[in-house]
Amino acid sequence: MFPAVGATFFGQESFHVLLLWLVIPLSLV
């Protein structure tokens, strides 16, 4: 895996985690 690809993948994963923190509480309410 190229460093650039790894950095992009890590950025996308962190973004998905932020989305989960926003979506999950809304789903539980």
Domain ranges (residues) in the chain: 1-28
In this prediction, residue 4 has a pLDDT band, given cuts at 50, 70 and 90, of confident
% of the chain surpassing 90 pLDDT: 0
Mean pLDDT, range 9-24, rounded to an integer: 84
Tokens 């509480």 correspond to what residue? 25
According to the model, what pLDDT value does residue 3 have? 67
Whole-prediction pTM: 0.46
Mean pLDDT, range 2-11, rounded to an integer: 72
φ/ψ of residue 2, rounded to 5 = -75, 150
Mean pLDDT, range 9-28, rounded to an integer: 84
Alpha carbon distance 2, 9 (integer Å): 10
Residue 1 pLDDT greater than 60, yes or no: no
